[in-house]
Amino acid sequence: MDVNDNKENGGKNTGSKLLVLLIALGMMMPMFCNWEQYVPTNLQGGASWVASGLLLVLMCAFVWVNRRKQWLCLPPTRQLLPFVGVCIVLTLVTSPHIMLSPSAFCHCLVILVLVVTSLWLLMRRYSLILLAPIMLVGMFETGAHFRFKILLNSMLLAEALECSKDELMTYVTVTNISMLIAGVAFVAGVLYLLCRVITPMSKRSLGGLLLAMAALLYMMFPMLTDTYTNISHLGTFGTCKRSFRMFRDIKRASGAVGEYIESLPSPAEKPSEMPLLKDDDGCVIVFHIGESVRADRCGFNGYERDTTPNLSANPRLINWERCVASGHTTVNCLAALLTDARRDLDDINESNQEMKATCGSVMDLFKANGFAVHSFYGAFNRQSMRADKVLRMLTSASDERHYTNNDVMETVEQVKRCLQKTGNKNVFMFINNEGSHTHFYMYDQKNPPFTPSLHVVNTSPRYGDAIRNAYDNTIHYTDKFVHRVLEQLKGRPYVYVYVSDHGEYIGDYNGTWGRGKAISERSFFFSTQGGSGVSAFAVASPEYEQLNPQFAQAVAQLKESRRMTIGHEHFFHTLLGLVGMKTPYYNAELDLCSPEAKPYTGPEPEDWPDYLSPDK
């Protein structure tokens, strides 16, 4: 024990007295406060008169013995002040919650001191090996929160795994790399400083500091704003918790959807028939699963900007203004749309809630009933690190797969060739391409309809309008794409069914971008139409209606169903209804061409704009 320490920590040491006071206050706090607030999940069982009283007695005894034996004290001011100073800097740059609610600053600071002190006590200098990555992740989170208004979560990682290499490369910019290098250098510098200021502290004063911080946190807990019900979400605790969860969830989920799809029986295993269609009717059913297209940004739904001039002018367009997505990742939505999966409405707010299916892909049924099955993908599907595998399983009935190399318009030519090749056979076409996926680049960039448009990852408010223009341009491009495919289908009995997989936040909802916020606040996802209100429409040709009076009836019924709020659950059964497929998996209540169709009744956005009002 060094001389200073001895002198500072004698019987008259002020630090020691302060420590006693803090601990005593901490222990007595529940007696003056609302008991309810002292029963958070992190302090389970710690809040009862008996427990608190017992703790107080124990602490008094400890304090008495501590004074005589000189076990613990507080560090002297000249050591404490620089240490706290460094911790304040670290808290400011590594706690995204401070931007979310500045009142959480003190909590975050106390947590950081607690973590640093305990790690140092246990591991001394080696604690930096643990601290450095935590601080870096915290800084990364703060930066991401600053730009995208999101916290670290598995959605973020899932989205990164979903996007193509090209998309990922858009993040590799000089600015981002320089920011990363600067961040690493900054954290290294602060940690070096931390090392310098904490080294002279004795074990006794570090122990005292640890105890004092624990008592402080105990006292401060009820002062936490309503946003946080648990201190484990805050500061360094939160960073660790979120990082751990993110990797756990993604590890669990990465194979899970694929394994789940594999485990489902094919609907074609049970007998099915299609009495209304003959093999040489030449009927074409197109199922286009769109990317990230929100209902409220489509001109045909009443959006003030005409993002869909071709479809708006199409007299045969049947658009559902209110369609609620089943999830917020492409993989899950693809699985929900192609199988008979339904959400469990009793358990809808469970964050791990998955849609449960009883059979595999609807495409198997079309194949089993004599359809030629062709799938058309964007370049993005082939490059995608995660979605590709699941999509391949779901579309395994495909006779042929067509990929584009660059532009989605290449598909138009592929569709043309496919129609020539299949002659008068019935054809099922599945389409899933770039659509309006981030970073909103799939449009004619030399000649964009809405300017200025910017397809960048930078989402600072300065670029907000230009990026939203780019988003609208992608929808305009999809409109052109659908129009061109419809031209190829002209003269054939066809039904083109389109539904987007999920929505997208485009700087609205308090500056939210992407879908990262959706998983951490599932209710947020359901309460905003930016998250879950997706574009959905169908176009049926007159030749299709002429094939069979029941098909004309189906189209009339589809038009009727426009008034309904629908969900992803409807599409599997509607595709079957369109061709009059008879299978034990068919449910007329979810078939929009059936008079028995029932609307979607699960959670839906509370903020549909007025123009998305089917009842108007």
- List residues binding Zn ion (CB under 5 A): 291, 330, 501
> Which of left, alpha, beta for 201 (phi over 0: left; psi -120 to 50: alpha)?
beta
Residue closer to Zn ion (CB basis): 267 or 327: 327
Nearer to Zn ion, 91 or 164 (CB): 164
* Least distance in angstroms from the C-beta of 329 to Zn ion: 7
The neighbouring-strand residues paired with 403 are: 377
Provide the token pair at 72: 């613990």
Phi, psi angle pair for 567, to nearest 5°? -135, 175
Angle at 325 between CA 321 and CA 330, to 5 degrees: 130
Least Cβ distance, residue 480 to Zn ion (angstroms): 20
- Beta carbon of residue 331, minimum distance to Zn ion (angstroms, whole number): 8
Between the CA of residue 307 and those of 254, 293, 477, 489, what are the distances in Å? 35, 11, 9, 23
Coil, strand or helix at 35: helix
Nearer to Zn ion, 364 or 501 (CB): 501
In the complex, the smallest distance separating the C-beta of residue 434 from Zn ion, rounded to whole angstroms, is 10
Taking each continuous run of H as one helix and of E as one strand, the counts in the chain are 26, 11
- Whether 274 contacts 550, CB under 8 Å: no
Closest residue to Zn ion in the complex (CB): 330
Which residue, 291 or 543, is less far from Zn ion as judged by CB? 291
Residue number, 291 or 479, with CB nearest to Zn ion? 291
Q: Give dist(CA 52, CA 58) in Å, integer.
A: 10
Taking the complex as a whole, how short is the minimal distance between the CB of residue 430 and Zn ion, in angstroms?
15
The DSSP annotation for 68-119 comes to HHT---PPPHHHHHHHHHHHHHHHHHH-THHHH-GGGHHHHHHHHHHHHHHH
Minimum CB–partner distance for residue 501 and Zn ion (Å):
4
CB of 502 to Zn ion, least distance (A): 5
- Kind and range of the H or E element at 237? helix 235-263
Distance CA 476, CA 30 (A): 60
Provide the minimum distance between the beta carbon of 317 and Zn ion in the complex, in angstroms, as a whole number.
Answer: 23
What is the C-alpha radius of gyration for the chain, rounded to an integer number of angstroms? 30
Give the residue with the Cβ less far from Zn ion, 289 or 454. 289
Nearer to Zn ion, 281 or 504 (CB): 504
Residues 6+ away with beta carbon under 8 Å from 454: 463, 466, 467, 469, 470
As a whole number of angstroms, the distance between CA 151 and CA 148 comes to: 9
Tell me how far, at minimum, the Cβ of 466 lies from Zn ion, in Å. Answer: 22
Q: How far is the CB of 291 from Zn ion (least distance, A)?
A: 5
**Cβ-based nearer residue to Zn ion, 340 or 501:** 501
Nearer to Zn ion (CB atom), residue 208 or residue 503: 503
Strand partners, 294: 534
Chain length of the chain: 616
Q: Is the sign of the CA dihedral 165, 166, 168, 174 positive or negative?
A: positive
Compare residues 239 and 254 and give the one whose CB is closer to Zn ion: 254
